[in-house]
Structure 1
Amino acid sequence: MNDRKAELETLRADLKARLSRFEAHQHREGGALDKDFEEQATQTQNDEVVDSLETETRTELAQIERALERINNGVGDECETCGEAIDPRRLQVLPYTTLCVDCAED
C-alpha cells in the first residue's frame, strides 16, 4: 500500500503543477491576447480546451485526494460501496479507484 500511496502523492503533485499552468494560461500570465483577430480566435479556442482540461484535472485530483484519505484511514484497499477487497490488479491500473470492478460497473 505504501507504493500506491507514494504513486498517488506523485500524481497529486503532478496534477497540482498542471493546474498552476492552466491558471497561468487563463490569467494571461504569458501576455495579453494578440492584436491579430485570427490569432485571438485561436487563443480563445485554446482557452476552451484549457478549461476542459482543467475540469478533468480537478476531477482526477479529487479522486486522488479521496483515495489518499481512505488509505490514511486504513480502508484504501476496500471497496467503499460493498466493503470487499479491491483486486490489486485494478489498483495497479487505476490507483485512485475506491470501487471494486462489480460496483464500478453498477
Structure 2
Amino acid sequence: MSNRKAELETLRADLKARLTKYEAHQQRQDGALEKDFEEQAVQTQNDEVVDSLETEARSELAQIEHALQRIAEGVGDECEGCGEEIDPRRLQVLPYTTVCVDCAED
C-alpha cells in the first residue's frame, strides 16, 4: 500500500502544480487579451478549455485526497460500497479509486 500512497502523493503534487498554472492563465499573469479581435476569440476559446481542465483536475484532486484519507484510516484497500477488498489490479490502474469493479458498475 505504501507504493500506492507514494503514487497518490505524486499525482497530488502534479495536479496542484497544474492547478497553479491554470489559475495563472485565468488571472492573465502572462498579459492581458490581445487587441486584435480574432486573437481575443482564440484566447477566449483557450480560456474555456483551461476552465474545463481545471474542473477536471479539481475533481481528480478531491478523489486523490479522499483515497489518501482512507489509506491513513487503514481502509484504503476496502471497497466503500460492499466492504470487500478492491482488486489490486484495479488499484494499479486507478490508484485513487475507492470502490471495486462491481460497485462501480452499479
Deviation at 1:84, TM superposition (A): 0.2
Residue 24 of structure 2 aligns to which amino acid in structure 1?
A
Residue 30 of structure 1 aligns to which amino acid in structure 2?
D
Gap regions ≥5 residues in structure 1: none
CA distance in 1, matches of 2:64, 2:30: 30
Deviation at 1:83, TM superposition (A): 0.3
Q: Kindly provide the CA deviation profile for residues 52-100 of structure 1, in whole angstroms up to 9, marking residues without a partner as x.
A: 0000000000000000000000000000111000000000000000000
Q: CA RMSD in A?
A: 0.3
Q: Which residue of 2 aligns with 1:72?
A: 72
Q: Which residue of 1 aligns with 2:42?
A: 42
Residue 12 of structure 2 aligns to which amino acid in structure 1?
R
Q: Does 1:29 align with 2:17?
A: no
Q: Which residue of 1 aligns with 2:63?
A: 63
Gap regions ≥5 residues in structure 2: none
Deviation at 1:10, TM superposition (A): 0.2
Q: Which residue of 1 aligns with 2:86?
A: 86
Identity of aligned residues (%): 82
Residue 99 of structure 1 aligns to which amino acid in structure 2?
V
Runs of 4+ in 1 over 2 A off after TM superposition: none
Give the count of matched residue pairs: 106
Q: Which residue of 2 aligns with 1:98?
A: 98
Q: TM-score, normalised by structure 2?
A: 0.99
